[in-house]
Structure 1
């Protein structure tokens, strides 16, 4: 049983690392098939909107990623010990990220009609917001998990990831400002991608620790 669990943890860690790398590549390539799309100025949600030529593919991809992160969250708990409260909380945050930023973003499209947000757009933002907040809190919880695992180096990384994530999240949420000429609003796509890259670096580090963990 322990051997089977060890293999499950290792395979899940590899899957998470692969998905994090693939997601960056897939979203970049998808933008190339959207005439006029700007990676720096437009949000990733635009790729999944109904008017996007890659809408159905991106929505399906996000749902797939969501399921993968939910699975990752479940196996994470098995890897680090389900009896530890911070491990259970970290596992829950990973699952919420998968549900919100993955499945929620894929199911609900960020559509506008006559310039106004649709109900689907609102649900997309709510689901994505839940996922983003869960991801932002994760490093704070992981600091406690890694203290238990005697990995002090991750404490500093967790602080850096949280700080960068918090700043880029604030810059990205200013997109709701009406001043489209504002530098921060103008490059909303850039802030979102830095937030994602920052988070994925953290996921990859966690996955690497999981892979080398002895159960």
Structure 2
């Protein structure tokens, strides 16, 4: 396993996870009549009534696996600078990978939030905990990059954290009835933008590592 971690292929898996988390829902939504990217969260694609539920739920499980591998890569990258922060980083990514990835793929959310069962509750809790954990990963990466004196990555991660936090707040607010029929109600947009800025630090670091491997 150690020979597989921190290889060019394992970093590519992280890139696939990031890009795929936007591309897969975009493609599958074309086969789901009535799906709206602006107002619907991506997990709706995996609901029991969705014609693409099998494909999307399989993707969520793969996403979780790829991110867990990515967390091991990042741990090796930063552990020599701060083992405690690197472990925290790894745990936070794993919480998202398991909660918002693997568990969400196994336990589907319902198309309507008004309909709740055990599966949708597990999905909701796992996804919520996962998002809250992943939110702080860019901040941890910024601190670790600062310890490495990698100023560019430090700034990119810090800016990503601030923007992810802003869009996460909007994502939470979008579910409130008081914001219905306003631009804030576009839950799907805020979810995607939150994920985008959570993922940017991963993508940037992965690209740098892949470039290093290509140069060798």
Please state which band the TM-score falls in when normalised by the shorter chain: 0.7 to 0.9
SS in 2 for 1:109: coil
Q: Deviations over 1:179-200 (max 9, x none)?
A: 5733245311111111122222
Q: 2: distance between equivalents of 1:52 and 1:123? A: 19
Residue matched to 2:119: 120
Residue matched to 1:94: 93
Return the match for 1:11 from 9, 23, 46.
Answer: 9
The worse-fitting range, judged by mean Cα deviation, of 58-67 and 147-156 is 147-156
TM-score, normalised to structure 1, is 0.87
Q: 2: distance between equivalents of 1:200 and 1:139? A: 8
Unaligned runs of 5+ in 1: none
Return the match for 1:78 from 76, 79, 87.
Answer: 76
Return the match for 2:54 from 53, 56, 68.
Answer: 56
Describe how 1:119-198 pairs up with structure 2 within 5 A: 119-179=118-178, 181-198=180-197
Question: Structure 1 122/65 Cα, relative in aligned 2: closer, same or farther at 3 Å?
Answer: same
TM-score, normalised to structure 2, is 0.87
Q: 2: distance between equivalents of 1:26 and 1:6? A: 26
Q: CA deviation at 1:84?
A: 1.9
Q: CA deviation at 1:50?
A: 0.7
Unaligned runs of 5+ in 2: none
The worse-fitting range, judged by mean Cα deviation, of 18-27 and 187-196 is 18-27
Check whether the contact 2:39–2:185 (CA below 8 A) recurs between aligned residues: yes
Q: 1: distance between equivalents of 2:3 and 2:112? A: 49
Residue-pair matches, total: 211
Q: CA deviation at 1:35?
A: 0.3
CA RMSD of aligned residues (A): 2.4
Q: Deviations over 1:162-213 (max 9, x none)?
A: 1111111111112332357332453111111111222222220121244456
Return the match for 1:40 from 14, 38, 41.
Answer: 38
Check whether the contact 2:44–2:111 (CA below 8 A) recurs between aligned residues: no
Q: CA deviation at 1:16?
A: 0.8
